[in-house]
Amino acid sequence: SQTIHQWPATLVQPVGSPLSLECTVEGTSNPNLYWYRQAAGRGLQLLFYSVGIGQISSEVPQNLSASRPQDRQFILSSKKLLLSDSGFYLCAWSDRGGSPLHFGNGTRLTVT
């Protein structure tokens, strides 16, 4: 069966520091991969999605970037964090077509 791993679970970083969040998927090949952000009390904002290695679609211009160095690995990065980057970050994967997204357990990021 397929599983998705996302880490760390919680992270506290100072303003201006770099960020790297990692997500890996097991048990499937060539999945679509996604990064969402959920601000406190708000819905999910799609940040990036990828349909293959090295293919990244950015939905919102911002302080973040994403990379997909391997088929089942998706990384969310920032060179310098802002206070507004605080939130709950969720990684997800899906197959093609009408397949639903399957989510990781999320990373709670607090920028201080």
Partner 1 sequence: AQSVTQLDSQVPVFEEAPVELRCNYSSSVSVYLFWYVQYPNQGLQLLLKYLSGSTLVKGINGFEAEFNKSQTSFHLRKPSVHISDTAEYFCAVREYNNNDMRFGAGTRLTVKP
Contact positions toward partner 1, by CB under 8 A?
A: 6, 32, 34, 36, 42-44, 46, 49, 51, 57, 59, 88, 90, 92, 94, 98, 100-106, 108
Q: State which residue, 36 or 75, has the beta carbon closest to partner 1.
A: 36
Question: Nearest distance from residue 1's CB to partner 1, in Å?
Answer: 14
Report the candidate in 37, 38, 6, 9 with the shortest Cα–Cα distance to residue 23: 6
Q: State which residue, 15 or 110, has the beta carbon closest to partner 1.
A: 110
- E strand segments, 41-81: 44-52, 55-58, 65-70, 73-78
Place of tokens 């310098």: 80
Place of tokens 């998927």: 25
Q: State which residue, 75 or 90, has the beta carbon closest to partner 1.
A: 90
Question: Nearest distance from residue 12's CB to partner 1, in Å?
Answer: 15
What b/e sequence results for 32-66 when a residue is b if at least 16 CB atoms lie within 10 Å of its CB, and e otherwise? Answer: bbbbbbeeeeeeeeebbbbeeeeebeeeeeeebeb
Question: Nearest distance from residue 76's CB to partner 1, in Å?
Answer: 15
C-alpha to C-alpha distance for 96 and 108, rounded to whole angstroms? 28
Q: State which residue, 39 or 80, has the beta carbon closest to partner 1.
A: 39
Question: Nearest distance from residue 92's CB to partner 1, in Å?
Answer: 8
